[in-house]
Each structure stands twice: as C-alpha cells, then as structure tokens.
Amino acid sequence: MPQQKSVNALLASSHLFAPLTEDQRAALADICHIVPRFRGEVIFVEGEEAAGLHIVVKGKVKISRIAPDGREAVLHVFGAGELFGEVAVFQGSRFPATAECVEAGASLFLPRREFLLNIERDPALAFSLLAAMSLRLRAFAAKVESLTLKGIPQRLAAYFLLALREREAQGGEKRGELRLDISKALLAGVLGTARETLSRCLGRMAEQGILSVDGRKVRILDRGFLEDLAKGAKNL
C-alpha cells in the first residue's frame, strides 16, 4: 500500500494521535482509508447507522442538527486534525447529527470494529480519546452558556477574541488583523443566529469604530471594547 506511509504522517500531525508511539500509529494507519471530500458533500446524516469515525485531513466539516422545517443548528465546524462521528462508535450506534463538507479537502475513515480493538490494546489511545471528548464537552458547555445568557453582539465579540488568541498563539497574522476562515452565513449559524442579524451586528460595530470589515478581512480597532462586550460590561 503506497499511501499508508503518508497516512501515518497525517495521523502523527493530529494532536489526537501525537502521544502514540510509531508502532501504535502504524497499526491505526493500517485500518483507515483516506477519502476526498468536495464542498457540499454530505458525509453522514443524523440517525444513520455509524460504521466508524472520521478525521478531517484538509478542508472543513460542519456538524449540525436539522429541524423538520429545514432550519439548522450548527454544533461545530471542524478543521484539519479534528475527529468527528465518534459518539456513535461508543454509544448508540447512530449518528446524533449531520456532517457536511463546507470546504473541499479530505478525511480519514476508521472502521468501528478495528478501532475499538486498538483502544482495547492501548490505554494511551483511550486517554487521547477521553481528552478529546472532554475538550468537546468544554466547548459545548461554553456554547450552551452563550446561547442561554448572551446576546448576539456578545457572542460575536467572544468569537473574535477567541480567533485573535488562536492566531496570536500560532504567530500568524498581523496585529489586530483577522481573516475569517468560514463564510459569514456559516458564522451566523455558529453563533446561533440569522445571516441578517450578524450583518447588522457587524455594521453597528463598524459604525462605532470597534472594527472594520472588508470581505473576510476583519481589522480589530478597539479590542478593549470587545472584551468588555464579551463580559457583558458594555453594550452596543
């Protein structure tokens, strides 16, 4: 299998499997396939029987729940290195949500049975998964909190601040400059609101000199204000 070597490298680059030994990763690489994904592709739908779990290699995947009337609640947007569809592997066997590719790329697929065998053999893998799911639970807790007691401007401010901190940690972009990695429509979904509301909110922020927007480029002009907003100390 000529591609297995690169799969092994992909696994190593995901912090999920970084703590494993070379041999352990090789064992995983043996059981997984790489699948190209195009934009708009539905990877699985809520209620479907789960054959295994997935890891994003490149591109972005949206996880959401869709109501009978068509409106959707975005649960996550995952990028390279993140796993999804794992819940059904450990509990219930059916996916609790729908996964759709929103930016073309590729993903790895790990079949359920073989993956479970690997966990059984290897406590380090189990710990990695427990940590990954704990992180997911933290993210959900934050999301429920913000949906329950924060308004849209506050959620948006929190989103920008988080994005800024991430960029700074990776020494990325210029100071105060920020490139959105998802469309505004999707961002609205992530914040749990409608496109129109997000648009208006950005408009008001620009009006007040907190930031300026040009397409996907956002320049933060008054970070302190954003921080006060996120805390609830100020309002628009």
Partner DNA sequence: CGAGCCGTTGATATCACTCAAACTACGTGG
Partner DNA sequence: CCACGTAGTTTGAGTGATATCAACGGCTCG
Least distance (Å) from DNA to the CB of residue 38?
Answer: 9
Least distance (Å) from DNA to the CB of residue 72?
Answer: 11
Least distance (Å) from DNA to the CB of residue 156?
Answer: 10
Least distance (Å) from DNA to the CB of residue 213?
Answer: 6
Q: At 193, phi and psi to the nearest 5? A: -140, -175
CA distance 184 to 160: 13
Closest CB to DNA among 49 and 196? 196
Instruction: Please identify, among the stretches 12-20, 123-131, 166-174, 180-188, the one whose residues bind DNA according to the rule CB under 7 A.
Output: 180-188
Among 116, 132, 197, 234, binds DNA (CB under 7 A): 197
In sequence order, what are the residues at sequence separation of 6 or more whose Cβ sits closer than 8 angstroms to the Cβ of residue 91?
none
Q: Are strands 98-111 and 177-179 parallel, antiparallel or unpaired?
A: unpaired
Contact 116, 51 (CB under 8 A): no
> Tokens for 209?
């000199």
Q: Is 216 in the site for DNA (CB under 7 A)?
A: yes
Contact 17, 11 (CB under 8 A): yes
Residues of this chain that interact with a second copy (CB under 8 A) are: 65, 67-69, 71-75, 86-92, 96-97, 119-120, 123, 126-127, 129-131, 133-138, 140-145, 147-150, 192, 231-233
Contact 109, 56 (CB under 8 A): no
In sequence order, what are the residues at sequence separation of 6 or more whose Cβ sits closer than 8 angstroms to the Cβ of residue 100?
40, 41, 42, 43, 61, 62, 64
Residue whose C-alpha is closest to residue 30's, from 3, 4, 10: 4
Among 76, 112, 136, 200, binds DNA (CB under 7 A): 200
Least distance (Å) from DNA to the CB of residue 216?
Answer: 6
Contact 102, 186 (CB under 8 A): yes
Least distance (Å) from a second copy to the CB of residue 206?
Answer: 26
Judged by CB under 7 A, the chain residues 38 through 97 that form the site for DNA are 71
Site string for DNA, 125-164 (x = CB under 7 A): --------------------------xxx-----------
CA distance 21 to 34: 21
Residue numbers at the binding site for DNA (CB under 7 A):
71, 151-153, 183-186, 192-200, 202-203, 213, 216, 235
